[in-house]
Amino acid sequence: MSFQWIFAPIALLALAAAASANVVNLPAAADAHINDFNHDGTFDNVSIDAAVGSGPFQRGAIEFNASSLPAGSTITAATLQLSIDVLVGTTTNSVAFGTYPGDGAIEVADATAASSTIGTFTAPPNPSSFTVFNITLDPTAVQNSFSLSSYIGFNITQTSGSGIGFTSKENVNAFPKPNLQLTFSPPASVPEPASLALVGLGLAGVAAARRRKTRA
């Protein structure tokens, strides 16, 4: 049997493994809503509750621990999975999401930590309790947060309507909790010396086979 036919499938399998994407689901590490009690445009208090609320004078914040991703990974897709616990009013409720490098704890400054909108969501009228909604986020922006911290944070700003309360990780009686699904490509691995030796042996075998074929 020719050495080419032996080593070609091995090389193809290696390339396929290197090119495959990985998916990880991250539960929320912290969540809360941040309040503007005086209604003066300044956020001044963090409330941990059964719902991560957003409203005209309130912003939600959720952080996820992404330390399980290998350093140097490239995030190619990001989906925030949330369920609605409370819907305030009868008008259309819409929110915008921003991202920031977190630290595993919700702070007042997190209300304004994001500089741009990376995803939006409009709640349907009368949604079923605890229905999961998949919110597509800009993976490049999420990557930027991940490059600065192992915690990826998101704040939630009300853009229309009276308020939405998403199920919190703190709500012991409700499921599912907030989840961040990331698709990523790990950094290219450097071949170990033993692997390089096997490749060298394979190349030598190919060369020897060619020499035998030439003599024949």
pLDDT for the residue numbered 157: 96
Would residue 182 count as lying in a domain? yes
Q: Which tokens belong to 198?
A: 């096997």
Contact 51, 174 (CB under 8 A): no
Would residue 201 count as lying in a domain? no
Contacts of 2 (CB under 8 A, 6+ apart): 209
Contact 207, 1 (CB under 8 A): no
Dihedral class, residue 126 (left if φ above 0, else alpha if ψ from -120 to 50, else beta)? left
Specify the CATH number for the domain of residue 138: 2.60.120
Share of the chain above pLDDT 90, in %: 59
Angle, vertex CA 16, rays to CA 15 and CA 22, nearest 5: 120
pLDDT of residue 14 exceeding 90: no
Mean of the per-residue pLDDT values of the chain: 84
Of 130, 66, 138, whose CA–CA distance to 97 is shortest? 138
Would residue 200 count as lying in a domain? no
Which residues constitute the domain of residue 138? 22-188
- Bridge partners (DSSP) of residue 33 are 47, 60
pLDDT of residue 18 exceeding 70: no
Would residue 213 count as lying in a domain? no
CA distances for 188 relative to 46, 75, 103, 194, angstroms:
41, 14, 28, 17
The count of other CB atoms within 10 Å of the CB of residue 112 is: 15
Would residue 204 count as lying in a domain? no
pLDDT tens-digit map of 184-207: 999 987 655 555 455 455 555 545
Q: What's the total number of domains in the chain?
A: 1
Contacts of 5 (CB under 8 A, 6+ apart): none
pLDDT tens-digit map of 41-82: 999 999 998 889 888 899 999 999 999 999 999 999 999 999
Share of the chain above pLDDT 70, in %: 78
Alpha-carbon span 136 to 157, nearest angstrom: 16
Would residue 100 count as lying in a domain? yes
CA distances for 161 relative to 7, 39, 92, 141, angstroms:
62, 17, 5, 26
pLDDT for the residue numbered 88: 83
Contacts of 125 (CB under 8 A, 6+ apart): 90, 92
Residue with tokens 């409700």: 174
Regarding pTM above 0.75, the answer is yes
Would residue 136 count as lying in a domain? yes
